[in-house]
């Protein structure tokens, strides 16, 4: 066949039901999973951490309460829709869309702050509420999608991802002590863009990731086909 067929040898060989002989890229994958976990929550943690800044801008609108109430319906509603249609959703597209939305939303916070010169008012507050709603949509895409994607792989990847989630809260709090709100948001924006680049272009090429995704496809999973295609591997169903 002209195209590469799914085989256990996609990650340097191995038995049909066992581990490959060499798990190449294991430590790189662990680091990337940590970064992806960090990026999946750093934007929302940024909003919570700079709550004092928004209280100074919007003292009459109770931003800490309102923004949380805006975030939850978007997150839960999107998550319910994605869970209901899980079997028909392209996991790769879901995760990439989530990280891109995180990046765009965090960037828009910076743009809005500079455009209004850090001034309050109803208009900027409504804009922030809309951006927070997009955070909820992005969170529903990324966290559910990444957990589902990593569930096909070794448990250490999942642990590293959740360690990144936990670290995002600690690191955002530490950054808030030494940086201004604008620089703080700039760091979060960069982190989201890095997550997009890593997941879209780097993760699919790691041999250990290719192995586990190929193994999941042989066991009947249809949600990994796009990831395998991005790595240059084609399922038998695509060849006929």
Q: Which residues 6+ apart lie within 8 Å of 197 measured at CB?
A: none
Domains in the chain, start-ordered, CATH in brackets?
25-206 (1.20.1250.20)
Q: Which residues 6+ apart lie within 8 Å of 178 measured at CB?
A: none
**170-218 pLDDT per residue, tens:** 988 888 888 787 888 898 999 999 999 999 999 999 999 989 888 877 8
Average pLDDT of the chain to the nearest whole number: 84
C-alpha R_g of the chain: 20
**Can you give the pLDDT at residue 41?**
92
Distance CA(128)–CA(53), nearest Å, equals: 13
**Can you give the pLDDT at residue 49?**
87
Q: Is the pLDDT of residue 108 over 50?
A: yes
Q: Which residues 6+ apart lie within 8 Å of 67 measured at CB?
A: 47, 54, 128, 129, 132
Helix axis angle, 26-49 to 207-218, nearest 10°: 90
**Can you give the pLDDT at residue 234?**
65
The end-to-end CA distance of the chain, in Å, is 10
Tell me how far CA of residue 104 lies from CA of 7, 165, 189, in angstroms.
38, 20, 8
Q: Which residues 6+ apart lie within 8 Å of 137 measured at CB?
A: 74, 75, 78, 101
Whether residue 185 contacts residue 170, with contact meaning beta carbons closer than 8 Å, is answered with no
Q: Which residues 6+ apart lie within 8 Å of 12 measured at CB?
A: 20, 21, 22, 24, 207
- Give the mean pLDDT of 74-99: 92
Whether residue 179 contacts residue 188, with contact meaning beta carbons closer than 8 Å, is answered with no
pLDDT band of residue 50 (cuts 50, 70, 90) is confident
Quick one: three-class SS letters along 100-135?
HHHHHHHHHHHHHHHHCCCCCCHHHHHHHHHHHHHH
- Give the mean pLDDT of 61-87: 91
Strand partners for 5: 234
Give the pair of three-digit tokens for residue 4. 């590469």
Please tell me what DSSP assigns to residue 198. Answer: I
**Can you give the pLDDT at residue 164?**
95
Distance CA(52)–CA(235), nearest Å, equals: 52
- Give the mean pLDDT of 92-101: 95
Of 66 and 22, which is predicted with more confidence? 66
pTM of the model: 0.85
């Amino acid at each position: 066949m002209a195209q590469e067929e799914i085989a256990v040898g996609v990650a340097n060989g191995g038995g049909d039901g066992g581990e490959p002989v060499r798990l190449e890229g294991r430590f790189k994958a662990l680091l990337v999973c940590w970064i992806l976990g960090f990026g999946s929550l750093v934007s929302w943690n940024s909003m919570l951490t700079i709550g004092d800044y928004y209280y100074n801008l919007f003292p009459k609108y109770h931003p800490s309460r309102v923004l949380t109430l805006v975030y939850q319906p978007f997150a839960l509603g999107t998550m319910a829709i994605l869970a209901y249609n899980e079997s028909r959703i392209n996991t790769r597209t879901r995760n990439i869309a989530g990280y891109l939305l995180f990046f765009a939303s965090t960037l828009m916070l910076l743009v809005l702050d500079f455009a209004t010169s850090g001034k309050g008012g109803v208009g900027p507050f409504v804009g922030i509420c809309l951006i927070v709603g997009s955070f909820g949509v992005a969170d529903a895409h990324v966290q559910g999608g990444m957990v589902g994607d990593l569930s096909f792989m070794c448990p250490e990847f999942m642990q590293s991802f959740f360690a990144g989630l936990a670290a995002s809260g600690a690191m955002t709090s530490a950054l808030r002590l030494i940086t201004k709100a604008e620089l703080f948001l700039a760091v979060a924006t960069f982190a989201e863009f890095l997550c997009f680049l890593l997941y879209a272009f780097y993760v699919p090429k790691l041999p250990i990731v290719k192995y586990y995704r190929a193994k999941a496809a042989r066991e009947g999973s249809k949600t990994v086909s796009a990831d395998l295609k991005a790595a240059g591997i084609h399922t038998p169903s695509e060849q006929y």
